[in-house]
Structure 1
Amino acid sequence: MTTLADTLRALPDEALAALFRLRPDLVVPVPTDLSALAVRAQSRVSVARALDGLDEFTLRILDAARLTRDEDHGETSTESILTLSAGAARRVDRAAVRSAVDRLRALFLLYGPTESLHVVPGVDEVCSPYPAGLGRPAAELDPETAALVADPAKLRRTLLAAPPPARAILDRLAAGPPVGTLPATAAPGEGAAAPVSWLVDNRLLVPVTEPSGLAGKPTAVELPREIGLLLRRESGPLGPLRPTPPPVAGAAREPKAADSAGAGQAMEAVRHTEALLEQLAAEPAPVLRSGGLGVRDLRRLARGGGLDESTTALLLEVAYAAGLVGEVDLPGTVTARNGADQQMLPAAGYEGWRDGSLAHRWEHLARAWLTMTRQVGLVGQRDDRDRPITVLSAEAERAGVPAVRRAVLDVLADLEPGTAPGPDEVVDLLAWRAPRRSLGRDTGQREVLAEAALLGVTGLGALTTYGRLLLAQWTAGDTRIGETGDDPLGVRPDADGAAGGGSAAVRALDALLPAPVDHFLVQADLTVVVPGPPEPTVAAELATVAEHESAGGASVYRVTGASVRRALDVGYAAEDLHSLFARRSRTPVPQGLTYLIDDVARKHGGLRVGSAGAYLRSDDEALLAEVLADRRLAPMSLRRLAPTVLTTPHLVGRLLTALREAGYAPVSEDASGATVLNRPKVRRAAARGSVANRVTDPLATPRLSTPRLLGIVEQIRRGDAAARAARRAPSTVRGAGRPGGAGPGMPTAHAHSQALAVLQQAVRDKALVWVGYVDAHGATASRLVRPVSIGGGYLRAEDERTEMLHTFALHRITAAVLDE
């Protein structure tokens, strides 16, 4: 029988390169020879990886190949597979079957000529032991059942006599898998065991586990293959076959409408993310000792942002993956509530992200979502130890999630623009495209659709234009080995957007979003309306001089006495505030705002606070007298030191707070009397990189260029030739050191001098030479090498097969023969 190694050895270089392109895991690392390649191609891991990419129809055809193998040689043929597939109720196109067989042969899951195909052994190890859901032949299970199936008329009468409950069990097992269990607690012939007992008694089912009599011990029964084939007479031996993917009849949306809806949701996602991070900056959340944020903190953030908890968890996870959130250690003497010694707050890169355009900020989040290995849908569920899974905890880590996102978005990308399929249609199509990968992942696939809608990747259920561009850019960013200009470490050069306008997705989204505005509208009630997304400088100015009230398509702020005082505290003068509102406002500045600024500025700095405990001074003696007599300030224990100076034993911060709460407008000063500008202190976690900067898809395989593939083929063939030649070493080398062929021994003086002369000549001529030697265990061996140098009692030579440098002790060399 021709082995797989012999088949691979007979292939041309282009065919081997094509195999490596389809199964790149075969050359990571590069095998030493074709025999090693054949072993790897039949291994469980490599076969499972190849099977994971096959669709439902191709896997059924592989099952047909397994079913039609003869018992003697394990061979099948394309014609046998066609014959078995032709039994389907809906006739299957023979060309589709041949195409599936050709694909299996290209992947070398089947090998050999079409009339004698072999299934690689790894397929039986990885796949179900019941091909196409059919059981084993009756002859392997029970002689009496075999006699029953050998009599077609008797078998048909027995099936027709089966009670309805028993027939329902047969139909269920015939659909696959063919094995069922029955609890041993059920009494034979009663309840659920009654129809099974009838089937066993009439030899239609065969017990494959002897009843033990122990309570709760299940008894397994198996439906023989011949009976399963008879019950499938309407659907065919392989069951219902779908050569083509199921159609997707999703709702048709106008592409512009889908893009507009998605862009609006993208803007909301960015805005809500910024609001959540601002909440964390104002009140950092403690990190649980087990990792992640607690349920109370998640609810607090959700309530503050006006969001539900699932959306809040998604945005926090995406922000963390994007490097916008991080942990910071608390000082040794400080402990947060719940005993936490870490807090979660915005990272050092948050300001840079916040200052970018809306489209750039969205792209940064969307890339992180695509590549992060976090399944957010698990948050709120229970783990194996019945503990709640919290946001940002390790229990929500799932390595295969990026592949699920890619598969779901690929389905949407393959449809016509504006097509909005339902979740059931997407799940069904994925189950056909890759049944092995999709098994048990339907919940995760539905979660991907919901998350894509929340982040604005889809709009009205359809993939947006900019989402399509982002997906194409992400797919093109996979690691390529041997391609010019690609980083072998897998770093995406455009992960944060290219300079000069950003990526194509950013430009497409920018065209859909409203242009940033550099102005606002001041109304008579001192509210400030920003008619669109504000520019970063406008947003920073308003954050200082006004209180934020609401967000949306138009943001609303309100100017208050406290906000004006805050602006004065950070260094603004009254003239600066008047100039700011006059420059930015498209409506006349209300007189009330002018009065408010002047009134607060007039009072601002009338009192001066320094450190004594603290002191209070003013050039206005009447004002100091008023403060001293104010009962609200009695807890400060103020004392007059001079007509213009008061002191208190309390610290400066407490005095400032008490004065402001009493309606005064003090400012702090240093020892020289200069005003201390009171800018808010911002704590940030250490800078973190976004996961979007690196390929994280565990299913992503290196794409090799054609020259690199051909180079690998040449390397393997050279190693194969050397390995085969090593097995044909000259008899003079193989027999050296074995006197009379009795066993290993050390070389004689004459043989040693001859070998040394041959080696010295090989060093001069740089020729290949066969070297026989005795190893440290006393065993003889031979190797084809190219001598490099001789000295110090050692030979240094390069092994032709492994291209490695080896050192041989000269006294252990038994023979040396030039290679012919």
Structure 2
Amino acid sequence: MTDNAQLDEHEPGAGSRGAPVPGRPPTFTSWLRGRSDDELAALVAARPDLVQPVPVDIGALATRATTRNPVLRVLERLDHFGLQVLEAVVALGDDRLSEPVGVTTAELSAALGLAPATDPADDLLARALDDLLRLALVWPDRGRLRPVQVLRELLPQPAQLGPPLRPLLAALPHSTVRRLADDLVPDSTAATPVESVATFLSESAHVGTLVGQVGDPARRLLDSLAWGPPHGTVTDARREISLATASSPVETLLARGLLVPTGDDTLTLPREVALYLRSGRLFRDVSTAPPPFEGRENPGTTVTRAAAGQAFTLLRALEELLERWSEDPAAVLRNGGLGVRDLRRAAQAMDTDEQTAALYLETARSAGLIATDDRVEGEWLPTREYDLWRERPPEWRWLRLARAWLGSDRVAALNGSRDSGGRVRNVLGPGLVRPAAPQARHDALAELGTAPPGFAPTQESLAARLAWRRPRRQSPLYTELVGYALAEAAALGLTGRGALAEHTRPLLEDDEEAAARVLASELPTPLDHVLVQGDMTAVAPGPLVTGLARELALVADVESTGGATVYRFTEESVRRALDAGRGIADITDLLERHSRTPLPQALRYLVSDVGRRHGRLRAGTASSYLRCDEPSVLEELVSDRRTGDLGLVRLAPTVVAAGVSRAALVDRLRQLGYHPVPESGDGSMRLSRPEVRRAEPTDVPAPSGSGAPRELSRAAVKAMRAGDEASNIARRPVPLPEDGPPGSRTAAVLEALTRAAKEGRRVWIGYTDTDGRQVSRIVEPSGVDGGFLTGYDATRDAVHRFAAHRISAIAELENTAD
């Protein structure tokens, strides 16, 4: 059967489920069309790339499912045993082998050396074949299994076997094959010499007879090629040889068809001969399970607590940095990244090393919490999403960061390395993208999840299990990405003490509700109190509720972090709160309300003294002026030699004019320790916090949900079934004029559709969509007006309008049932 025969198709009258046409052999598409909706939904859920975009019908799905790139993607997800089973189907089910085409389960079991399972639940081969059928990599053909045709190209040497004899012999000169057929099968009735020799050597008994005729040197040569690779090198491989003239070991093998020349100096061992030499076995060793883990046990609680502690550290570090960047953002480099100095400052602000700071920044960017502004000289700023994010409970804040990291293709560990052109890669800049990174992270964490809770495997045993779990992904880059993933997962709180945290397990299964519940039980509970001490400090023994943390950060400076956070009160910090509009009573009430210890008298004096002096001087615009209700303060100011450059002139006991602008006057007096407050035209003080700036988010991760993929899969199957019906349902074409006056064809289309709408009949239409594609639609017309058809489109399960001039054909349906 040819490649095209596998993807048969559209037979009018076959029905929406596409039953095989009597007299025709089954095809991959007819098998796919005959699968239930649940089975097709499982295929779409397992291979979502097949419905991006949704195929127009099952035939288009079959074509896409057997295309090179989609099949390559699904091959990468097979484990070592599943790949061995697939290679066995490809090797024994090749349609170039002798009839019957395909392979039975019993033949596969024997070729793999698997003992029959006494319990169906323990039948590993049956489970592997079910997975291959679910993924549409193999399909049944009259009781036998066949691989999809593209696998012949993607797995050219399954189980290290060479090609079958037929294609090898077909590539030889006719005279060579004729001589071989005359020597081996002189009385054959086959149609061609190729068929004669291929059929003869497909019998293992015949191969055994021929092998028994060669000497020990020739047998040793066969044995060296038996387990692969199946190619050998020899001088003048295409020499003309017969049984009568063969003298050397190579010639005796060529004369018997046990080796076939495939090049001027290359010989190939045919698949049929190799299978005989292997006694029917395909692999020396069939591995049905991954190698065992090696490592150390940890109490499960210590793992989760360590990971939760790291998650809390991540949240606190990011909030501290992004609050600073709100007022004093970092500059954007010319290449779009973050400079080394700014990264160093960010690491200091987050109390961590530069590599971890780079990871935190990349994760925040992937989560849509930071972005660049739209200035020519750009700056890195928190986004408006950050304001919403910081109001959420800590477990949900962490989940957003963890999900963003899992789906990001950027690798922060590459920060500081050089690209092929010798340019340094910067954090948040180009050059850190690795498309395979998300898959490596999922693979590593999922494999950690197969270990018992609290078990921390060694890197060597984890690498060995990943090599078994994803054999086709193994490469130096993949190994490097897995190493980066493990280090980053520990820094972000997905793992603890080398083991997978309990809150990460449901996250990997897209169950964020469960992940949030587990993490919330381990994170420290936010506190609404502090301990104010006599040395002008306040100690927060744990994380604070959002409102208190924000107010305390306004009135005090963070001095140290760790298990507890220490805040220090200074004149500058108190004045910062006053500048933001807080009064003396507001600050004192805040501290008295939230302190578990009495407020020290020294702190009361500090707040009162700074508050008393705050706003005594007020600056306005003359060029500028100073106003004060206490003449002695202005007298002191005018007499101060340091203010000589301001051009101060006494206008009244409570007013002094200045020769500089108000902004310059305020800045200069603040440097001298006077701390004036700007005044508006009506004499009121103008108090404001430093400007808080925000950038627009670029990529905000969409919330995930476990039910969405299932619903989308079923919707895609429904659309393809409808498209199949539109393509295959029996129909009677409505004649439309090919020639005639302009508009006559459109008029005929409108007339036929109007008649169908009046009679309540469904019709089939051929339609040219806006992309120029020819599509089939089954429509139940409801009205025709203004050159447009309005009707229920069964293919899309919705009401649509169709332009009459785009309708290329109309047909009445024999079966008008819905």
Superposed pair shares fold, TM > 0.5: yes
> Matched residues in 2 for 1:52 and 1:73: separation?
31
CA contact (8 A) 2:290 2:468 kept: yes
The farther-off stretch of 525-534 and 628-637 is: 628-637
- Which residue of the other structure, out of 527, 536, 540, is the alignment partner of 2:537? 527
Amino acid aligned to 2:722: Q
Partner of 1:638: 648
> Matched residues in 1 for 2:810 and 2:352: separation?
82
1:346 and 2:382 equivalent? yes
1:442 and 2:479 equivalent? yes
Partner of 1:133: 160
Instruction: Kindly state the Cα deviation for residue 319 of structure 1 after the two structures are TM-superposed.
Output: 1.3
> Matched residues in 1 for 2:787 and 2:596: separation?
94
> Matched residues in 2 for 1:674 and 1:408: separation?
62
- In 2 relative to 1, CA 686–786 (structure 1 residues): closer, same or farther, beyond 3 Å? closer
- Which residue of the other structure, out of 657, 660, 663, is the alignment partner of 1:653? 663
Partner of 1:214: none
Amino acid aligned to 1:344: W
> Matched residues in 2 for 1:798 and 1:578: separation?
70
1:567 and 2:577 equivalent? yes
Partner of 1:216: none
1:360 and 2:384 equivalent? no
Partner of 1:63: 87
CA contact (8 A) 1:788 1:798 kept: yes
Aligned-pair Cα RMSD in Å: 5.4
**Map of 1:663-812 to 2, 5 A cutoff?**
663-686=673-696, 690-693=700-703, 702-704=709-711, 711=718, 715=722, 718-719=725-726, 721-722=728-729, 725=730
Partner of 2:39: 18
- In 2 relative to 1, CA 272–176 (structure 1 residues): closer, same or farther, beyond 3 Å? farther
Q: Say which SS state the counterpart of residue 488 (structure 2) adopts.
A: helix
Which consecutive unaligned segments of at least 5 residues does structure 1 have? 181-198, 211-219, 331-339, 478-502, 738-743, 747-756, 772-782
Instruction: Kindly state the Cα deviation for residue 617 of structure 1 after the two structures are TM-superposed.
Output: 3.3
- In 2 relative to 1, CA 387–10 (structure 1 residues): closer, same or farther, beyond 3 Å? closer
- In 2 relative to 1, CA 539–129 (structure 1 residues): closer, same or farther, beyond 3 Å? same
> Matched residues in 2 for 1:784 and 1:532: separation?
65
- In 2 relative to 1, CA 348–702 (structure 1 residues): closer, same or farther, beyond 3 Å? closer
Amino acid aligned to 2:529: H
**Map of 1:223-238 to 2, 5 A cutoff?**
224=269, 237-238=282-283
> Matched residues in 2 for 1:559 and 1:745: separation?
92
Amino acid aligned to 2:603: L
The farther-off stretch of 260-269 and 520-529 is: 520-529
CA contact (8 A) 1:759 1:816 kept: no
Partner of 2:146: 118
TM-score normalised by L of structure 2? 0.71
CA contact (8 A) 1:135 1:222 kept: no
Amino acid aligned to 1:66: V
- In 2 relative to 1, CA 424–800 (structure 1 residues): closer, same or farther, beyond 3 Å? same
Q: Say which SS state the counterpart of residue 656 (structure 2) adopts.
A: strand
- In 2 relative to 1, CA 33–611 (structure 1 residues): closer, same or farther, beyond 3 Å? closer
Partner of 1:294: 339
Q: C-alpha offsets along residues 390-413 of structure 1, whole Å, 9 cap, x if unaligned? A: 222343345554444333333333
> Matched residues in 2 for 1:770 and 1:567: separation?
73
Q: Say which SS state the counterpart of residue 104 (structure 1) adopts.
A: helix
1:257 and 2:310 equivalent? no
- In 2 relative to 1, CA 403–232 (structure 1 residues): closer, same or farther, beyond 3 Å? farther
Q: Say which SS state the counterpart of residue 640 (structure 1) adopts.
A: strand
CA contact (8 A) 1:581 1:589 kept: yes
Instruction: Kindly state the Cα deviation for residue 257 of structure 1 after the two structures are TM-superposed.
Output: 1.2
CA contact (8 A) 1:179 1:223 kept: yes
CA contact (8 A) 2:102 2:141 kept: no
Partner of 1:580: 590
- In 2 relative to 1, CA 807–588 (structure 1 residues): closer, same or farther, beyond 3 Å? closer
Instruction: Kindly state the Cα deviation for residue 269 of structure 1 after the two structures are TM-superposed.
Output: 0.6
Q: C-alpha offsets along residues 126-147 of structure 1, whole Å, 9 cap, x if unaligned? A: x132222344579679999x99
Amino acid aligned to 1:451: E
**Map of 1:318-717 to 2, 5 A cutoff?**
318-330=363-375, 341-437=377-473, 440-472=477-509, 475=510, 503-686=513-696, 690-693=700-703, 702-704=709-711, 711=718, 715=722
Partner of 2:132: 104
Q: C-alpha offsets along residues 293-331 of structure 1, whole Å, 9 cap, x if unaligned? A: 23343233224433222211221122122222122123x
CA contact (8 A) 1:611 1:652 kept: yes
Amino acid aligned to 1:307: T
> Matched residues in 2 for 1:792 and 1:532: separation?
71
Q: C-alpha offsets along residues 239-279 of structure 1, whole Å, 9 cap, x if unaligned? A: 43212233334432212111211111111011111122133
Instruction: Kindly state the Cα deviation for residue 454 of structure 1 after the two structures are TM-superposed.
Output: 1.1
> Matched residues in 2 for 1:550 and 1:760: separation?
80
CA contact (8 A) 2:317 2:350 kept: yes
Q: Say which SS state the counterpart of residue 660 (structure 1) adopts.
A: helix
CA contact (8 A) 2:325 2:380 kept: yes
The farther-off stretch of 706-715 and 366-375 is: 706-715
- In 2 relative to 1, CA 585–708 (structure 1 residues): closer, same or farther, beyond 3 Å? closer
Q: Say which SS state the counterpart of residue 363 (structure 1) adopts.
A: helix
Aligned length in residues: 709
CA contact (8 A) 1:135 1:228 kept: no
> Matched residues in 2 for 1:449 and 1:408: separation?
7
Q: Say which SS state the counterpart of residue 633 (structure 2) adopts.
A: helix
Partner of 1:85: 112
Instruction: Kindly state the Cα deviation for residue 348 of structure 1 after the two structures are TM-superposed.
Output: 2.2
Q: Say which SS state the counterpart of residue 58 (structure 1) adopts.
A: helix
Instruction: Kindly state the Cα deviation for residue 770 of structure 1 after the two structures are TM-superposed.
Output: 12
> Matched residues in 2 for 1:274 and 1:600: separation?
29
Amino acid aligned to 2:519: L
TM-score normalised by L of structure 1? 0.71
> Matched residues in 2 for 1:800 and 1:573: separation?
68
> Matched residues in 2 for 1:54 and 1:559: separation?
61
Instruction: Kindly state the Cα deviation for residue 11 of structure 1 after the two structures are TM-superposed.
Output: 7.8
Identical pairs, percent: 36
Q: C-alpha offsets along residues 631-670 of structure 1, whole Å, 9 cap, x if unaligned? A: 3333334333444433332222332233233232433322
> Matched residues in 2 for 1:709 and 1:644: separation?
80
Q: Say which SS state the counterpart of residue 616 (structure 1) adopts.
A: strand
Instruction: Kindly state the Cα deviation for residue 555 of structure 1 after the two structures are TM-superposed.
Output: 0.6
- In 2 relative to 1, CA 807–155 (structure 1 residues): closer, same or farther, beyond 3 Å? farther
> Matched residues in 1 for 2:266 and 2:636: separation?
97
- In 2 relative to 1, CA 222–529 (structure 1 residues): closer, same or farther, beyond 3 Å? farther
- In 2 relative to 1, CA 73–122 (structure 1 residues): closer, same or farther, beyond 3 Å? farther
- In 2 relative to 1, CA 262–758 (structure 1 residues): closer, same or farther, beyond 3 Å? closer
